[in-house]
Amino acid sequence: MPKVKLTKGELKRTRDALRQYQRYLPTLQLKKQQLQMEILQQLHLLEEKEHKEAAKKSAIGAWAGLLADPGVALSGWISIREVIISAKNIAGVDLPIFERIDFAAADYDLFSTPLWVDAALELLKELICMRREIALIQQGIKILREELRITTQRVNLFEKVKIPQALEAIRLIKIYLGDQMTNAVGRSKIAKRKISEATTYEAIAI
């Protein structure tokens, strides 16, 4: 604990600081709870999206033989024009939220390509969107966990360090000032008694 100045000014400053700590702590605790809840929700969402991705991969697996056709270059027909991402604020933290991907129109001859190409392209685009969304959810969880770590440190700092130190400093200052006041009263009584004794002695002498 830092050395405490045993003065009235320090007592006021410490009391003011204590009030600030006690006012700010509930806000931090609420933020910590919100972050914990959001992390659990995002982990649940991530699990759900990963299951859907696995199902989509399984569906695409049925096309594996057709995709091996050297005359069909699906990868060349899928071009991302723009990834649309928004933001969601949770307890003061901005999370990236996947909205959609805009793909450029595939440029291929409808008459010379197999009929299944359109359906295969749509499946692959859906899979690409899922992977981007999963990556953003993972990024958001990482952001939330880092913010939770910082917030938890602050909660612990207030609960276990700042508030106990302020309370102890106030206790020490009040004890010291009380002792000083008691000593001052004692000295005042002694001085009054000496003055009284001196006055009485002078009166007798006269």
- pLDDT beyond 90 at 16: yes
Q: What percent of the chain is predicted at pLDDT more than 70?
A: 75
The residues spanned by each domain of the chain are 8-174
| DSSP state letter for 27 | H
Q: What is the mean pLDDT of residues 100-109?
A: 80
Task: Identify which of 47, 42, 50 has the alpha carbon closest to the alpha carbon of residue 145.
Answer: 42
Query: What burial letters (b/e) apply to 13-44, b meaning 16+ CB within 10 Å?
Result: ebeebbeebeeebeebeebbebbbebbeebee
**Is pLDDT larger for residue 37 or for residue 124?**
37
Residue pLDDT, tens place only, 121-140: 888 889 999 999 999 999 99
Fold of the CATH domain 8-174: Helix Hairpins (1.10.287)
Residue 87 has pLDDT above 90, yes or no: yes
